[in-house]
Chains A and B, each alone.
Chain A
């Protein structure tokens, strides 16, 4: 086994190729890249906890609006039907296809809402600086990391757009507040995921 002569805390290992690098201080907005494979090693902390907490609360409201306000309406020969996002799950569950209903409920409601609620708990705990939270916070962050790859709201949005184009040939579609709340929700989600690094949250938990 080879020995490294620097303290562990001054080192960082590339998550793609495992090469060790010596950490150097970064200016705001700077990133450090792996010298061997070119992957991102780390970037400066954006101090994004406060802003992410605010955006998470906004996202939760937008999620409720998207589900509960009229999403879109279909007009076929003057017969207008208004549709709510939440009722799509209900319709699916009435079909024989139980698995597809479960998949719909998971990807459209349970996972996105779950991640938002877990984010809210974790960020508000870190923000309010309460003492006995470390173990709880660690569990929350682990769970968020597990769920993250399965949160597909932006992909669902593209699915909505494709569906609208497909339906536009047989019916007249108009978009309502629920749809626009959903678009805003996806935008905020994308913004938060590019500013808030899990590493920053781990460091915040470590500091407690």
Chain B
């Protein structure tokens, strides 16, 4: 265990840990890291604003991602348009329970959880609430880790489109929701990357 006799943050001590390489150093006049040369900040610049901007973009993309079909299938002349939730229901009715649960979690639950957690934490910073900061930090690390797993459905669409083309079983084309969904995952990831957990603790 590393000891801390004086409960002091790097910012209070006039130090900054580089956001890119982690090197601890005193704030310098030229604002560049001594080790990696990146811009040196004590807190990520415009963290709250950028997180909000990406999160709101993601929320907007979430609407077409769920309303429009993610895949258009034509087999034996019959056209079928599948939305994400429609695909989950279909899998469930075909008794593919594990896959239905994976897709439901990755495509519906994880994005909603990310919206909820990031906006709650942003409100917490704004209101100056300290509350249970340990839990808030851990919650953020969890959603930061699970966020990219939402991409599963996009990968499945890409693979199905390519594989079924070869197999000649049917024609599968990516629907307009596929790009909206991929954009949604990427913007939530950018929102998490812009977020600075240190801001939560600055209120303590």
Contact = CB atoms under 8 A, between A and B. Distances in A.
The answer to whether A and B interact is yes
Interface of A: 1-5, 8, 11-13, 15-24, 32-33, 35-39, 41-42, 74, 76, 79, 81, 83, 87-88, 91-92, 95, 97, 99-100, 103-104, 107-108, 138, 141-142, 145, 149, 152, 155-156, 158-160, 162-163, 165-167, 169-171, 198-199, 202, 206
Contacts of A5: 6
Contacts of A12: 2, 24
Interface stretch (B31-39, B46-54, B57-65, B115-123): B31-39
B159 interface: yes
B9 A18 contact: yes
B21 A149 contact: no
Q: Which 6 pairs from chain A and chain B are nearest by CB? A: A159-B155, A88-B162, A13-B10, A17-B201, A21-B2, A13-B17
Contacts of B191: none
B158 A17 contact: no
A99 B2 contact: no
Contacts of B162: 83, 87-88, 91-92
Nearest to B26: A8
Contacts of A198: 21-22
Contact of B174 (A100, A158, A167): A100
B74 interface: no
Task: Name which of A16, A20, A206 has the most chain B CB atoms within 10 A of its CB.
Answer: A20
Nearest to A38: B134
A81 B167 contact: yes
Interface in B4-18: 4-15, 17
Contacts of A1: 12-14
Given A149-B189, A166-B156, A202-B21, A16 B141 contact: yes
Contacts of B12: 1-2
Interface residues of B, number: 73
A26 B127 CA distance: 39
Contacts of A155: 148-149, 151-152, 155
A38 B140 CA distance: 13
Contacts of A167: 160, 163-164, 167
Contacts of B9: 13, 17-20
B77 interface: no
Interface of B: 1-15, 17, 20-26, 35-38, 42, 91, 94, 96, 98-99, 102-103, 133-134, 137-138, 141, 148-149, 151-169, 173-174, 178-179, 182, 189, 193, 197-198, 200-202
A100 B179 contact: yes
A202 B22 contact: yes
Contact of A17 (B20, B37, B137, B168): B137
A99 B98 CA distance: 30
B201 A19 contact: yes
Contact of B158 (A16, A83, A104, A206): A104
B2 A41 contact: yes
B24 A142 contact: no
Contacts of B38: 142
A20 B13 contact: yes
